[in-house]
């Protein structure tokens, strides 16, 4: 009797299992996932998104087509608002925009229509650990020359609220009392690079991993020079470039650099979904993202392009975002004054 029962049970399981594997695939099978990048083509956000798009599909059940679209404007705020408010919560739209905008919500910047804590975070390929670089022809080839400049040094940005370049330039100017003039409104770091090379700007600041990959030739030939690092520990390939925190003369200056630059670097480059996406899709995309970060072909491509990786999970992103909403009112007021004055 028991043998007959077990035989029937095993047969039922064998019949049912294929239907489970098939049911996991249909949603994404034959569909297209769009990764909406908030900046122009050729910049760091765009570069990382396109490399990931070429590999992540193999790890998503159903193997959907992955397309990257650029939705520029307002330092990627247009893209962030679109993903939150307009995109359907069906797991077919992924946003990749400047996580510095989460600070914009904290200080109540006009135009923010999202709640950062309600995005569904997939992960990040790395942190935005920033370096300040200038063209040699600008004359700013060292921190001493930047500090002693007699006229404001023009640095390029994209829009108020963008972690890099805008926020990190404003914060370092305030914390270290540097003679800097932020010229904002560029569509992305690719446009900022062009403006620097033409002499329109002296320099800018954004993640070293991205800068080293997209501005590599100019850095290698000395046309562009890294002058300052806003990171807790120096990069291995920039051992002689000083740290911003070491120039801070007051506790407030140190806190501005730590709270405003060091800490939020973890969520500066998030991949997110709109609120309300079904848990099955969230889990599938999070797992696919993590698997992509270990994929041999993906790693080979990133190494060739000199794109460094320091993957961050969706849960880690959410935890980091939640922490900034725990800052005390005086610090929030100070950040608001610096970032949106």
Summarised one tens digit per residue, pLDDT across range 245-297 is 999 999 999 999 999 999 889 998 999 999 999 999 999 999 999 999 999 99
Residue 32, φ and ψ in degrees, nearest 5: -125, 130
User: What average pLDDT does range 55-74 have in this prediction?
Assistant: 96
Between CA 216 and CA 303 the distance in angstroms is 13
Mutual angle of helices 279-292 and 314-324, in 10-degree steps: 110
Least confident of 22-26, 42-46, 282-286: 22-26
**Pairing mode, strands 32-37 and 93-96:** parallel
Between CA 134 and CA 204 the distance in angstroms is 7
Q: Is residue 209 very low, low, confident or very high in pLDDT (cuts 50, 70, 90)?
A: confident
pLDDT at 37 over 50: yes
Residue 6: its pLDDT value, please? Answer: 46
Beta strands in the chain (DSSP E): 32-37, 65-70, 93-96, 120-124, 130-135, 153-156, 180-183, 203-207, 224-230, 271-273, 312-313
Between CA 295 and CA 242 the distance in angstroms is 35
pLDDT tens, 95-153?
Answer: 999 998 998 899 888 899 999 999 999 999 998 999 999 999 999 999 999 999 999 99
Strand partners, 254: none
Strand partners, 66: 33
Residue 286 CB contacts under 8 Å (≥ 6 apart), including other chains: 122, 123, 313, 314
Residue 100: its pLDDT value, please? Answer: 87
Domains of the chain: 30-127+266-340 (3.40.190.150), 130-264 (3.40.190.10)
Sign, CA dihedral 123-128-129-135, equals: positive
**What is 38-101 written as a DSSP string?**
SS-TTSHHHHHHHHHHTTGGGGSTT--EEEEEE--SGGGHHHHHIIIIIS-SSS-EEEE--TTH
Strand partners, 70: 37
8 A C-beta contact, residue 98 and residue 249: no
Residue 4: its pLDDT value, please? Answer: 53
Nearest C-alpha neighbor of 302 from the set 266, 60, 310, 229 = 310
| Rg (alpha carbons) of the chain, rounded to whole number | 22
pLDDT tens, 90-101?
Answer: 999 999 999 989
Residue 307: its pLDDT value, please? Answer: 87
Sign, CA dihedral 172-175-177-181, equals: positive
Q: Is residue 236 very low, low, confident or very high in pLDDT (cuts 50, 70, 90)?
A: very high
Least confident of 17-21, 80-84, 224-228: 17-21
**Pairing mode, strands 224-230 and 130-135:** antiparallel
Residue 161: its pLDDT value, please? Answer: 85
pLDDT tens, 285-314?
Answer: 999 999 999 999 999 999 998 888 999 999
Q: Is residue 25 very low, low, confident or very high in pLDDT (cuts 50, 70, 90)?
A: low
Structure tokens at 117: 């804590």
Residue 26: its pLDDT value, please? Answer: 77
Structure tokens at 19: 């239907």
Between CA 182 and CA 172 the distance in angstroms is 11
pLDDT at 85 over 80: yes
């Amino acid at each position: 009797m028991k043998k007959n029962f077990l035989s029937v049970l095993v047969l039922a399981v064998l019949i049912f299992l294929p239907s489970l594997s098939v049911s996991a695939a249909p949603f994404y099978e034959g569909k297209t996932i769009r990764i909406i990048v908030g900046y122009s083509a050729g910049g760091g956000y765009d570069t990382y998104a396109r490399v990931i798009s070429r590999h992540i599909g193999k790890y998503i059940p159903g193997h959907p087509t992955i397309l990257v679209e650029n939705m520029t404007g307002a330092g990627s705020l247009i893209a962030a608002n679109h993903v939150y408010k307009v995109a359907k919560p069906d797991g077919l739209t992924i946003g990749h925009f400047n996580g510095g905008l989460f600070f914009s919500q904290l200080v109540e910047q006009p135009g923010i229509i999202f709640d950062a804590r309600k995005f569904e975070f997939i992960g990040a390929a790395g942190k935005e650990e920033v370096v300040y670089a200038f063209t040699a022809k600008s004359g700013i080839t060292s921190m001493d020359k930047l500090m002693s400049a007699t006229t404001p040094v023009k640095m390029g940005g994209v829009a108020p609220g963008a972690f890099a370049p805008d926020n990190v330039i404003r914060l370092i100017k305030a914390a270290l009392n540097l003679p800097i003039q932020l010229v904002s409104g560029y569509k992305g770091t690719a446009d900022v690079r062009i403006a620097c090379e033409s002499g329109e700007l002296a320099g800018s600041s954004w993640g070293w991993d991205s800068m080293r990959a997209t501005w590599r030739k100019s850095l290698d030939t000395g046309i562009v020079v890294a002058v300052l690092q806003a990171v807790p520990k120096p990069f291995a390939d920039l051992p002689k470039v000083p740290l911003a925190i070491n120039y801070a003369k007051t506790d407030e200056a140190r806190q501005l650099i730590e709270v405003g630059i060091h800490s939020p670097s973890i969520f500066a480059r998030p991949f997110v979904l709109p609120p309300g996406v079904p848990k099955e899709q969230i889990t599938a995309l999070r797992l696919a993202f993590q698997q992509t970060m270990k994929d041999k072909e993906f790693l080979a491509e990133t190494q060739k392009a000199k794109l460094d990786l320091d993957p961050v999970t969706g849960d880690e992103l959410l935890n980091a975002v939640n922490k900034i909403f725990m800052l005390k009112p005086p610090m929030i007021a100070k950040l608001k004054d610096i970032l949106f004055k």
